[in-house]
Homo-oligomer: A and B are copies of this chain.
């Protein structure tokens, strides 16, 4: 059910400020997507990087291994904008379908 949606969530989280995979995973979990695991998030991040939607930077951490931070670039912000546009469309159509003829 998350297909096509999770990537948008990751973009949105990154857009709120530089962050890294492990933290993104925990934020998604906190949001309610409790069974999203690290592997899933990292594959999305690899895809985002491959598609040139993000810039990355390795930084040391106090808590463990170095973190790979992500920020959206212009293409990433445009992708995010399109994502919310598609979501709004889908959402409105689904409500239309759900509410019709009750």
Contacts and interface: CB of A to CB of B under 8 A. Distances in A.
This chain's copy number in the assembly: 2
B97 A31 contact: yes
B12 A1 contact: no
A66 B84 CA distance: 42
A86 interface: yes
Given A1-B4, A4-B3, A9 B97 contact: yes
| Chain A contact surface mostly | helix
Interface stretch (A37-45, A57-65, A71-79, A87-95): A87-95
Interface residues of A, number: 24
Interface in A1-55: 1-5, 9, 12-13, 16, 31-33
Interface of A: 1-5, 9, 12-13, 16, 31-33, 84, 86-87, 89-91, 93-94, 96-98, 101
Contact of A12 (B2, B5, B31, B98): B98
A2 B98 contact: no
B31 A101 contact: no
